[in-house]
Amino acid sequence: MLEVTPRTRLTRKPDRQVTDRRMLHEILDAGIVAHIALCADGQPMVLPVGYGRDGERLLIHGSTGAGLLRRAAAGAQVAVVVTLLDGLVYARSMFDSSMNYRSAVVFGQTTALSGDAKLDALRLISERLMPGRWSEVRPPKPKELAATLVLELPLDEASVKIRTGPPSEDHPDQEDPLAWSGVLPLRAVADEAIAAPNVRPGVATPPSIDAARARVAAIDGTQL
Ligand SMILES: Cc1cc2nc3c(=O)[nH]c(=O)nc-3n(C[C@H](O)[C@H](O)[C@H](O)COP(=O)(O)OP(=O)(O)OC[C@H]3O[C@@H](n4cnc5c(N)ncnc54)[C@H](O)[C@@H]3O)c2cc1C
């Protein structure tokens, strides 16, 4: 269960708050991009990053030169959000129109990883983002590892909010009963892979591309 804390409690539509920890895992495993936010000298900052989940921790990586990540590594409180957009909800008024989604917010403090823990975390992030690719290419060089910051964020304080289904009929008496309303489902699609210009003739598309296709298909929440 996810404990609801003063900062994870939904103010509006509290019925959309989901406290099942498995749903948090499902959203984090389906997502590809997280947005990480923190406050630096009174200035809010937010950046998109790739990430991976390992058990009850979120793993984030980036350049040691990245300002926001350096601040996070130094102990700043962060908020991380992952959003899966499942549809556009067309109500009979713009006011009641909405979106179908699954989203998760995680609060906390990150720890920078080093040594074997850092390498393991990088492999895990890679397996989440591009399954199978780690073993298809050479291992990271010490110089590359030195230029990479890897942060761990425990999934101790998190909220999940989910909207599914048709438009809410909150004001039926004020709406045109003949107007169309409903949902336009949206999902991620992986197109055909495009080989780089320097790929030699005869080099086949690797299995990791098929694995990525399956991973993207798993984001689909249009049947919810
Ligand atoms: C794709 C998408 C589009 C959206 N579009 C809009 C929009 O256009 N306008 C709008 O007002 N709202 C929109 N929302 C909903 C928005 O994210 C908030 O849920 C909403 O503003 C109400 O927040 P609140 O007052 O309940 O929570 P707040 O009081 O603002 O926040 C309290 C806590 O609730 C939790 N929380 C709030 N929202 C979420 C969430 N979405 N996911 C996980 N935890 C959450 C967080 O832990 C947060 O700290 C959208 C959500 C998604 C995922």
Give the DSSP letter of residue 16.
G
pLDDT at 176: 87
Contacts of 139 by beta carbon, 8 Å cutoff, 6+ apart? none
Give the DSSP letter of residue 61.
E
CA of 205 to the centre of ligand 1 (A): 40
DSSP string, 105-128: EEEEE-EE--HHHHHHHHHHHHHH
pLDDT at 174: 82
- Cβ atoms of 129 and 54 within 8 Å: the answer is no
pLDDT at 175: 82
pLDDT at 27: 97
Place of tokens 């179908």: 100
Structure tokens at 196: 């780089």
Give the DSSP letter of residue 165.
S
CA of 141 to the centre of ligand 1 (A): 41
CA of 160 to the centre of ligand 1 (A): 10
Integer Cα distance of 130 and 195 in angstroms: 16
pLDDT at 24: 98
pLDDT at 66: 87
Other Cβ atoms less than 10 A from the Cβ of 152: the count is 17
Ligand 1 cavity residues, CB under 6 Å: 7-12, 83, 85, 99, 101, 103-105, 159-161
Q: Whole-model pTM? A: 0.95
Reading phi first (left if > 0) and then psi (alpha if -120 to 50, else beta), residue 154 is in: beta
pLDDT at 224: 83
Stretches in the chain below the pLDDT threshold 50? none
Nearest CA to ligand 1 atom 47: 8
Nearest CA to ligand 1 atom 29: 11
